[in-house]
Amino acid sequence: MDNLRLLLSIAAFAGMIVLCVIGWEYGGMGGLIGGAIGFVVRLGGRGLDWGERLGNAYVGALMGMPVGLLMGGAYAIGIPFLVDAINTGS
């Protein structure tokens, strides 16, 4: 059962990276930046050894990617749409 959990965890991480690369024009860079920030923030957290710290950092990256992808999408798509709507005066 542990091997299936590990496989699912790795597949989720790889899937998020692929999703960020495919959606590069739609905020994918934000997903990768969010993953990197989540990794760095959780790396310095509490942990007895480096294995535990790297596990925490992995979870931080896995949580940071979807949030960064959403924020990057809002920046790449949402803000230009709002600015265009404001400038047209409708």
Q: Identify whether the C-beta of residue 19 lies closer than 8 Å to the C-beta of residue 69.
A: yes
Q: Give the pLDDT means over successive 10-residue stretches in the chain (90 positions).
A: 84 92 90 93 82 88 92 91 85
Identity of residue 6: L
The burial of 53, by beta-carbon neighbours within 10 Å (0-12 exposed, 13-18 middle, 19 or more buried), is given as middle
pLDDT at 68 (0 to 100): 93
Residue 90, pLDDT score:
58
Tens-digit pLDDT profile for residues 68-87 = 999 999 999 989 999 998 99
Using alpha carbons, list the distances in angstroms from residue 6 to 3, 9, 10. Answer: 5, 5, 6
Look-up of token digits 């990768």:
32
Q: Give the pLDDT of residue 50.
A: 85
In this structure, are residues 72 and 30 in contact, taking their beta carbons and an 8 Å threshold?
A: yes
The Cα 7–Cα 1 span in angstroms is: 10
